[in-house]
Structure 1
Amino acid sequence: MNARTGRDARLPLALALAFAATSLPLQALGLAVSVHLPAYFASTIGLELAVVGAAFGLVRMIDVPIEPALGLAMDRTTTRWGRYRFWTLLGAPFVMIGLFMLLQADESVGIGGLMTWLLVMYLGTSILLLSHAAWASTLAKSYDDRARLFGVMTAVGVVGAVGVLLIPIVMEQMGYTDAEGVRAMIWSLIVLAPVAVAIVVWRTPETVMPDAPGARFRLRDYVELVFDRNMFRIIVADLALGMGPGWMAALYLFYSRDYMGFTSGQANILLLLYILAGIVGAPSLAWLATRISKHRAVIVAAVAYSLFVLTLPFLPKGNLLAAAPTLFFTGFMAASFNVLTRAMTADVADEMRLRQGKERGGLLYALTTLTNKIAAGVGIWLTFLVLDQTGYDPKLASGNSPESVQALMLVFLAGPIVFVSLGAFSLLGYGLTPARAAETRRQLEAREAALLAGAGVESLTGEEHPPPRQA
């Protein structure tokens, strides 16, 4: 292994692609929940903007204690099926049940019913996201290979998001309504989730390493995770980088239709282009991270993203071709945010394992997944609340006053630019360099080799440690 960069044997591409299958339904679901479901409940089902925003926001707040509990449970799980494989199998049924019950909702559902089934769906999503990311951090072991694997996962996820987005576009051309297109999207996710999970569980090995001798549960260890110099920067960056695109996604359909003058089909085509850009953007920026480091690549992408968003109101209205390049490059940059912060979290997980002697990957990814959920929930709640105060009414569409439409545009732009810029700023001073990550891996591998051989273990505790199990 290269001492400066941590380069060693790459994961075979076929294995990386098979493992990435879980990303297919997860990114497709993220798109449907952030863009289509809020608008569906507000416009089609007829719930008030404030009710829809509050339901999505409150459910994400309920997730706050659930996420760390899930992460802690995952890190302490040992079964005959492995650690993260077991949780991957557990997550899919919750997603399927939650989505199915949301399909049954009508105008009588109320905020309680909406929150209940959103919570079930989000619980399944949390389990799948956490287990997938934590499993990835143990599958790819070097600084560079983690960037590549998370890049592959994001690119595969983009394929899932594009596939689900094509459904309403094609159905509109066939004469179906927007509501029928959204319902078809949800049905496709109900079918896709168990298929993707089956591929991952079938094709991906999992090695569960033993804890270091003497390692035990201590509350201060978990406080240290949050306030670690590098992890705290990742948490703040992840929250801000999630808030920006989440804010924009919540208002995208309204902005495209009522300010830019696009039809629903045209808006979905542009959204498709934005998402497709991630197939190129995620691996490209993951490659850039291997040249200038991960945190610097995030900063570059965040600054470029903010500049592209700033140009959106200057595009000619109703001109699909004029808007296409800006949407593409905005999506290109946005694709790197989760890719690189997740790969950075894997490096921190190595440091914590070396320092504390126990696996903390699940809990660390719970913190970053939690920030994304807070960002998405608060983004929907806050943007809908602010928009409601401007007098804009989504049911009026083009019937809104010019002042309300102008306010829509300002609200649409403000969040992405402010929050994504904050995300870039928070990573200044990040200290986990490629060389430091490589040295951490070297020490971990030496300790794990000692555990396997039984060397040095008895001198520390007088106890033998079991070898790692591969499920």
Structure 2
Amino acid sequence: MEKTKKKYQANVDLSTFRLTPMKRVYYALGDFGYNFMYYWLSTYLMIYYTDTIGISAATVSVMMLVVRIFDAFNDPIIGSLADRTNSRWGRYRPWFLLGSIAMATFIVLIFAADPDWSYTMRLIWMWAVYLLLTVASTCSNMPYGALNGCITPDTEDRAKVSGLRMMFANVSSMVTVIIAVPLIRAFSADGSSTDARGYFWAVLITCVLGIPTMIVCCAKTKEVVTPPPSQVSIPLKAQMQSLVKNRPVIILILGQFILGCVIYGRAAMLAYYWQYNAGNAGFATTYGWISLVAAIVGTGWLGNFLFKFMKHKGKVCAALNFMTAAAYFLMYFVTAPAVSFWVLTFIGSMSFYAYMGIHFGAIGDAVDYGEYVSGVRCDGFLSSIVSVANKAGGAVMPAIGAAVLAAMNYVANGEQTQQVLNAINCFITLIPAIISAVNGIFYLMYPISTEKHKEIMRELISRRQ
């Protein structure tokens, strides 16, 4: 292993290495496939189990929260194991490939429940498959996130590849939003409603189309930033120092938690919003098209433009969070399909997705900082902690939303009270606006500028030599 490391290091000059445009595309394909499939869970899982399978909103809420708490312990374990993996494919790609195939399988199975089963059987199926799906998702997404800081050492290069990654992720998510309702209706029994059969075939088709992109990503992506040659083991104390003494990663953890709250909290409520507040579930397709264009503009232009101007990922993330907060706040006062609602949707989506691109590009820099202060490199462990924060936010906010609907006597497929409609509106406007503004304040304290990162990399390269 030691000889392999030295030979690999000798072939890669970390001070000059940059990704080719095609290499960025290969890496970004991983997030395209992941979100193409996973967005079914964040957008339709809750309403599928409450309105189609007949499980109460409170029960679904508890299930999401409990499994995500388990996931908080599972992620760092998987991350640490991946850091210690030694294979001809590197540390993270074997985990990513096998985890992706398993995740796709369980996504199909979670939407394979039958409303004619006994209530007990439906509950057991929901809990068991969701638990296995969560583990598989960690084995896929955590190593993929760790690769972000390993495929290039350059902070500007990481910003570009992360922007492209987020563009692909959000394009695929919005494609799923656009095709979801038409696919469900096409395969439903009567061809117009949304039933269990429609959900199953729509999800199956999506996963069959999505998994090849993740296989290509795994085959074409290489790790060039490897641990220092002296790192033959990762002492637990040094691993923890790379976390607790790492101010940048602490800020990213907070940011990732809020990011999860915003994106998954809104996604879970949007399906309810279209059906009950706007009165037309088909507006999800309009929303998808607008968000698709906004994602391309945000990740492909706005985020990189601001980063070139500010040369500080923390300040860019702060500015984009404040812009998102303003758009969501104003959205509270209008209702789809008003033109102003769609304009604010574009602005909020553009700034939010641009923020995601810059945020994920900062994780690799924070891992470099962790090696700088602790002497060990543990991309998987630090990425897993950040991932836990995202999943925690993605569990807490939908769970709170489901609990609030249950407390306000939400009636599946029925007429909702004004109180329920107001709550749904708040969960896609005011609440994400407030926490996005708080997130912006956190990012003002992020310490790594472009020049600071160059200084860190010079020191790390010197240590390797």
1:74-93 aligned at under 5 Å gives the runs 74-93=82-101
One of 263, 268, 279 as aligned partner of 1:245? 263
Asked whether 1:370 is paired with 2:349, we answer no
Query: Number of matched residues?
Result: 440
Q: Take 1:66 and 1:189, find their aligned partners in 2: how far apart are those partners? A: 27
**Deviation of the 1:439 alpha carbon:** 1.0
| TM-score, normalisation: structure 2 | 0.88
Matched residue type, 2:300? P
**Deviation of the 1:274 alpha carbon:** 2.0
**Deviation of the 1:435 alpha carbon:** 0.9
**Deviation of the 1:271 alpha carbon:** 3.3
1:290-301 aligned at under 5 Å gives the runs 290-292=308-310, 293-301=312-320
Cα distance change on mapping 1:165 and 1:413 into 2, 3 Å: closer
Cα distance change on mapping 1:311 and 1:185 into 2, 3 Å: farther
Matched residue type, 2:463? R
Asked whether 1:277 is paired with 2:290, we answer no
1:338-377 aligned at under 5 Å gives the runs 338-377=356-395
Cα distance change on mapping 1:215 and 1:432 into 2, 3 Å: farther
Asked whether 1:400 is paired with 2:416, we answer yes
Cα distance change on mapping 1:422 and 1:7 into 2, 3 Å: farther
Describe the superposition over 1:208-256 as per-residue Cα deviations: whole angstroms up to 9, x where unpaired: 6353436643333233233222211111121122212322221112123
Cα distance change on mapping 1:171 and 1:76 into 2, 3 Å: closer
1:206-245 aligned at under 5 Å gives the runs 206-207=223-224, 209-213=226-230, 216-227=233-244, 228-245=246-263
In structure 2, the partner of 1:467 is: none
Between the aligned residues of both structures, percent identity stands at 19
**Deviation of the 1:438 alpha carbon:** 0.5
Q: Take 1:93 and 1:328, find their aligned partners in 2: how far apart are those partners? A: 33
One of 44, 51, 68 as aligned partner of 1:43? 51
In structure 2, the partner of 1:72 is: 80
Cα distance change on mapping 1:189 and 1:121 into 2, 3 Å: farther
Asked whether 1:335 is paired with 2:353, we answer yes
Matched residue type, 1:128? S
8 Å CA contact 2:100–2:214 kept in 1: the answer is: yes
Q: Take 1:420 and 1:383, find their aligned partners in 2: how far apart are those partners? A: 17
In structure 2, the partner of 1:205 is: 222
| TM-score, normalisation: structure 1 | 0.87
One of 435, 444, 452 as aligned partner of 1:428? 444
Q: Which runs of 5+ in 2 are unaligned?
A: 1-13
Matched residue type, 2:324? Y
**Deviation of the 1:276 alpha carbon:** 3.6
One of 455, 459, 463 as aligned partner of 1:439? 455
CA RMSD of aligned residues (A): 2.3
Q: What is the DSSP-based 3-state SS (H/G/I as helix, E as strand, rest coil) of the residue aligned with 1:116? A: helix
Q: Take 2:29 and 2:336, find their aligned partners in 1: how far apart are those partners? A: 38
In structure 2, the partner of 1:59 is: 67
Matched residue type, 1:117? V
Cα distance change on mapping 1:426 and 1:133 into 2, 3 Å: same
Q: What is the DSSP-based 3-state SS (H/G/I as helix, E as strand, rest coil) of the residue aligned with 2:153? A: coil
In structure 2, the partner of 1:158 is: 170
In structure 2, the partner of 1:389 is: 407
Q: Take 1:187 and 1:172, find their aligned partners in 2: how far apart are those partners? A: 11
Q: Take 2:453 and 2:78, find their aligned partners in 1: how far apart are those partners? A: 26
1:90-129 aligned at under 5 Å gives the runs 90-107=98-115, 108=119, 109-129=121-141
**Deviation of the 1:444 alpha carbon:** 1.9
Matched residue type, 1:307? A
In structure 2, the partner of 1:305 is: 324
Describe the superposition over 1:275-298 as per-residue Cα deviations: whole angstroms up to 9, x where unpaired: 441122113213322321111111
Matched residue type, 2:175? G
Q: Take 2:15 and 2:100, find their aligned partners in 1: how far apart are those partners? A: 34
Q: Which moved more, 1:23-32 or 1:10-19?
A: 23-32
